[in-house]
Amino acid sequence: MTSKEPLDNATIHDLQEDSPSNTSGNRPFTDVAGVYASRRKVLKGGLTFAAASFFAAPMAFAAKGGKPGPNGAVGQFKQNGLISFDPVLIADGSGPVPAISADYDYQVLIPWGTAIEPGTSDYTGNPVTRPTAAEQAKQIGIGHDGMWFFPDNGSNERGVLCINHEFGRNTHLNLASDLDAVDRGSSSPSLIPNSLEAVLRSQNAHGVGVVEIYNNSGTWELDVASNKNRRIHVNTPVAFSGPVAADHPLLNTGAQPRGTVNNCANGYTPWGTYLTCEENFNGYFGDESAVLDLGGESPAWIGSWSPTEEQERYGFSSRGFDYGWERFDPRFDLSQASSLQETNRFGWVVEIDPMAPNSAPVKRTALGRFKHEGVALTVGQGGRAVAYMGDDQRFDYIYKFVSDDNWQAMRAQGKSPLDHGKLYAARFNDDGSGDWLELTIANPALDARFSSQEEVLVYARIAADIVGATPMNRPEWTTVAPNGDVYCALTNNSRRQPEQEDSANPLQANSDGHIIRWHDSEQHTGTTFDWEIFIISDDTQEDGDERTFGDPDGLWVDPDGRLFIQTDGGQKKGLNNQMLVCSTFDGPNDPTDPGKLDVRRLFTGVSSDEITGITVTPDRRIMFINTQHPGNGDPTRTNFPAATDGVTIPRDCTIVITRKDGGIIGS
Ligand code: FEO
Ligand code: CA
Ligand code: CA
Ligand code: CA
């Protein structure tokens, strides 16, 4: 984000993610990590260590390969068996088009605007047109994010891709003539839709795409004739399931529940369904009755709506993120009578059956309501379904859901494993241990605040405040390694806000994020865990260190133990956002090379994008990732995926990655 950027909804989006709404007073993770680091330092006899090696504790992780993790200039990389590709050099990763390892190839698939039904035309980036709202509902959306490939009977050549469309800037989705420049109290005018058509175009570009794709003689294509293709967007009818029913007083607006929005990362279940996660849903609501009062010391919005305590904790505000939907769609107008219930209908994990095109998306309320980044679902002791989830806001929490019973047994009884179980929030203790704190109305402290378990789930953030969960630095994706270790990216992006961290703790300078890992007791079903820092991004920023990266966001561990790291934020040394690969068998407690992981850059995106979303074919010879918001929609920065012409509007798209020798991706 440069200072030249107009203050549109994207900027507000970033500001909001960075602004805490947690006033619980729970001790932040940075404090905990600082104390933990200091203790390690004392135990090491007061020697000075690099920050990462403070965490070089001999912890009880299940599998340690102990292979040396080389780093440094290209040519010094050693093969460690898992990763042998030549990385993209820093010098090559900053252009208007992507760069990929010399050992790999890529192609583009399903850019924003690709028609998913016969008879609909593609939008291809023409700068003087945009899709109509009706066309957009039959085209691939914008803001490609989390996704998963569901193979057709195990095929490596054909399957259904479910893909999230997180968000689109007003200025990217619309022509200037579709927008009004309105003084909304910012340093520059806000650009918001001036018609219902423009609002609907935006709404139809959000949500999820379900599309059948196949390998057509070496080129991956969308099968436009497939009856599985569909778009799920902000106006699609949805169902609620689990403890909180759609007609519960906290959710019931009197109208059919509709829509999913700000679909960020994702998960998938062992029973073949897709999970999409609603993240910054608060930003789409605004108070249409509010007028800007510039008469006081600072600008204030005066309207008929004022937030409840709960709405404040979830970040609702009079102007939202300046999408401006409330101007033409009363459902997103906070001054309407049922707006509390409408706001409570978002912030959930939503299950979609990719093979049943007529099935409604189902919001799984047992998993709690917060700003769901993603969900990593694994099978724990006794066959129980276990879901790890991050809430992406500065000083918010990491959660876990454990189903009541074996997932297969539950399904045999006609129950969803995601409807019956326990929800926990994580507390990270100073000594490297951790506790999962159950969010249950049986806890007297929660019973004193809430009237029912339903209310606990709808306001899970507040429940987690009360039980004393540990505020984290923006938890993004989680992923579960083959040995049961769980990884979470803490992107820690402090671009616009002063740090609220203890200046004495060694992570205070950690403005580029880090990755934490933990290992749960009782095969993911227990209430305790051990944790450590896996890597601090700041440790890769030295001159001459080719590994450099910051703001880790997307994560995936493959079945061999390779960790894929995707970034979203300003990278050092002029790099575009990127995807890197390292081995989870290296690590901070590798005695031969503490704190130095062999992290290799596989791919870099284009100017002003982020790299997000990751899935593979069953043989892992094909990988799909995304470039989101290339060029921030500005054709003078990049025209990707069109050829460089300075004019064509850049479009979010999926990137299909293959290894030239046909090998496993990441090797
Ligand atoms: Fe949608 Fe936190 O990234
Ligand atoms: Ca994003
Ligand atoms: Ca993300
Ligand atoms: Ca991010």
Ligand 1 atom showing the smallest separation from residue 476 Cα:
2
Residue 415 CB partners (closer than 8 Å, separation 6+): none
Atom 1 of ligand 1, nearest CA residue = 264
Question: Is the distance from the beta carbon of residue 391 to the nearest atom of ligand 1 less than 6 Å?
Answer: no
pLDDT band at 70 (very low <50, low <70, confident <90, very high): very low
Angstrom distance (rounded) from CA 244 to CA 651 = 38
Closest CA to 108 of 86, 83, 140: 140
Q: In the chain, what is the greatest distance between 2 CA atoms, to the nearest angstrom?
A: 72
Give the ligand with the smallest distance to the CA of 551.
4
Question: Is the distance from the beta carbon of residue 396 to the nearest atom of ligand 1 less than 6 Å?
Answer: no
Question: Is the distance from the beta carbon of residue 392 to the nearest atom of ligand 1 less than 6 Å?
Answer: yes
190, 171 contact by CB (below 8 A): no
Ligand 1 atom showing the smallest separation from residue 474 Cα:
2
Question: Is the distance from the beta carbon of residue 476 to the nearest atom of ligand 1 less than 6 Å?
Answer: yes
Mean pLDDT of 395-418: 98
How large a percentage of the chain has pLDDT more than 90? 77
Tokens in use for 315?
A: 């970040």
pLDDT band at 23 (very low <50, low <70, confident <90, very high): confident
CA of 294 to the centre of ligand 1 (A): 33
Angstrom distance (rounded) from CA 173 to CA 143 = 10
Give the ligand with the smallest distance to the CA of 570.
4
pLDDT band at 16 (very low <50, low <70, confident <90, very high): low
pLDDT for the residue numbered 79: 41
Angstrom distance (rounded) from CA 202 to CA 207 = 10
- For the stretch 461-472, pLDDT in tens is 999 999 999 999
CA of 101 to the centre of ligand 3 (A): 24
Closest CA to 595 of 541, 539, 512: 539
- Whether the per-residue pLDDT at 193 is higher than 90: the answer is yes
Tokens in use for 170?
A: 């007003």
CA of 358 to the centre of ligand 4 (A): 32
pLDDT for the residue numbered 3: 33
Question: Is the distance from the beta carbon of residue 558 to the nearest atom of ligand 1 less than 6 Å?
Answer: no
Ligand 1 atom showing the smallest separation from residue 17 Cα:
2
Three-state SS annotation for 624-662: EEEEECHHHHCCCCCCCCCCCCCCCCCCCEEEEEEECCC
Give the ligand with the smallest distance to the CA of 279.
1
CA of 611 to the centre of ligand 2 (A): 9
Q: What is the DSSP letter of 539?
A: G
Give the ligand with the smallest distance to the CA of 277.
1
- Give the C-alpha distances (Å, rounded to integers) separating 637 from 332, 607, 665: 33, 6, 29
- For the stretch 622-664, pLDDT in tens is 999 999 999 999 999 999 999 999 999 999 999 999 999 999 9
CA of 10 to the centre of ligand 2 (A): 9
Question: Is the distance from the beta carbon of residue 586 to the nearest atom of ligand 1 less than 6 Å?
Answer: no
- Whether the per-residue pLDDT at 231 is higher than 70: the answer is yes
Ligand 1 atom showing the smallest separation from residue 371 Cα:
2
Tokens in use for 33?
A: 């990590």
Give the ligand with the smallest distance to the CA of 552.
4
CA of 146 to the centre of ligand 3 (A): 8
Angstrom distance (rounded) from CA 638 to CA 574 = 15
Ligand 1 atom showing the smallest separation from residue 280 Cα:
1
- Whether the per-residue pLDDT at 7 is higher than 60: the answer is no
pLDDT for the residue numbered 18: 53
- Nearest 5°: the CA angle 252, 254, 255 is 105
Angstrom distance (rounded) from CA 562 to CA 571 = 22
Mean pLDDT of 604-626: 98
Ligand 1 atom showing the smallest separation from residue 262 Cα:
1
Computed over every residue of the chain, the mean pLDDT equals 88
CA of 353 to the centre of ligand 2 (A): 24
Ligand 1 atom showing the smallest separation from residue 390 Cα:
2
- For the stretch 319-343, pLDDT in tens is 999 999 999 999 999 999 999 999 9
Question: Is the distance from the beta carbon of residue 279 to the nearest atom of ligand 1 less than 6 Å?
Answer: yes
How large a percentage of the chain has pLDDT more than 70? 86
- Whether the per-residue pLDDT at 4 is higher than 50: the answer is no
- For the stretch 252-280, pLDDT in tens is 999 999 999 999 999 999 999 999 999 99
pLDDT band at 519 (very low <50, low <70, confident <90, very high): very high
Ligand 1 atom showing the smallest separation from residue 392 Cα:
2
- For the stretch 277-300, pLDDT in tens is 999 999 999 999 999 888 888 888
- What's the distance, CA 373 to chain centroid? 4
pTM over 0.75: yes
Tokens in use for 405?
A: 């019973």
pLDDT for the residue numbered 501: 44
Residue 489 CB partners (closer than 8 Å, separation 6+): 475, 476, 477, 513, 515, 552, 553, 554, 555, 565
Closest CA to 472 of 504, 515, 438: 515
As a 3-state breakdown, the chain gives helix, strand, coil percent values, each rounded to 5, of 15, 30, 55
CA of 476 to the centre of ligand 3 (A): 6
Residue 265 CB partners (closer than 8 Å, separation 6+): 145, 146, 164, 277, 279, 373, 374, 375, 476, 477, 554, 612, 613
Give me the count of residues in the chain.
Answer: 667
Question: Is the distance from the beta carbon of residue 288 to the nearest atom of ligand 1 less than 6 Å?
Answer: no
CA of 143 to the centre of ligand 2 (A): 7
pLDDT band at 594 (very low <50, low <70, confident <90, very high): low
CA of 540 to the centre of ligand 3 (A): 21
Question: Is the distance from the beta carbon of residue 373 to the nearest atom of ligand 1 less than 6 Å?
Answer: yes
- Give the C-alpha distances (Å, rounded to integers) separating 395 from 22, 363, 464, 475, 490: 6, 25, 12, 9, 11
CA of 141 to the centre of ligand 1 (A): 17
164, 266 contact by CB (below 8 A): yes
Please say whether the dihedral angle defined by the alpha carbons of residues 371, 3, 647 and 608, taken in this order, is positive or negative: negative
Please say whether the dihedral angle defined by the alpha carbons of residues 48, 54, 60 and 65, taken in this order, is positive or negative: negative
Ligand 1 atom showing the smallest separation from residue 491 Cα:
2
Angstrom distance (rounded) from CA 60 to CA 57 = 9
pLDDT for the residue numbered 66: 29
Closest CA to 604 of 85, 92, 107, 93: 93
- For the stretch 115-168, pLDDT in tens is 999 999 999 999 999 999 999 999 999 999 999 999 999 999 999 999 999 999
Closest CA to 436 of 522, 355, 330, 337: 522
CA of 13 to the centre of ligand 1 (A): 10
Ligand 1 atom showing the smallest separation from residue 166 Cα:
1
pLDDT for the residue numbered 533: 87
Angstrom distance (rounded) from CA 184 to CA 299 = 9
CA of 503 to the centre of ligand 1 (A): 27
pLDDT for the residue numbered 190: 92
pLDDT band at 494 (very low <50, low <70, confident <90, very high): low
CA of 120 to the centre of ligand 4 (A): 33
Question: Is the distance from the beta carbon of residue 264 to the nearest atom of ligand 1 less than 6 Å?
Answer: yes
